[in-house]
Copies of this chain bind each other. A is one copy, B any other.
Amino acid sequence: MWFQRQIQLHARARGFHLITREIVENIPEIGDIQIGLINLFIQHTSASLTLNENADPTVRQDFESFFNRAVPENEHYYRHTDEGPDDLPAHLKSSLLGSSLTIPISHGRLALGTWQGIYLCEHRNHGGSRRLLVTLNGE
């Protein structure tokens, strides 16, 4: 069984956002799969996806603080600067964290660990709505 659907995420502030529930609610077809994989693919180059701690919101705040220090704005050597100081750092963060996730499905559910949640990583100040392409494959 193959299945594909585009999800349009509403615009979010720069930072790290838990979107597990939004994914699950938009893809009820997960419930039909005993063994399979779901691929989440973000069709942008300045936002990304990762898995991490789903409980304490300070983890997501610390992620934003850390990545802003690890990938600073306004470095003198940056050449791609026309779209603002947050643009090139957003591209770099996107490649450090990655554009897609592949998550196993078991018995009709995402087989995430107890503490794992899906993060949308919004790296732009005004990134707007983001498009995910979700591909499901299983039996």
Contact = CB atoms under 8 A, between A and B. Distances in A.
B135 A137 contact: no
Nearest to A77: B65
Nearest to A51: B99
B2 A36 contact: yes
Interface string A69-83: 011000101111000
A41 B52 CA distance: 13
A43 interface: yes
Interface of A: 2-4, 35-37, 39, 41-45, 50-53, 56, 58-59, 61-63, 65-66, 70-71, 75, 77-80, 88, 91-92, 94-104, 106, 111-116, 119, 131, 133, 135, 137-139
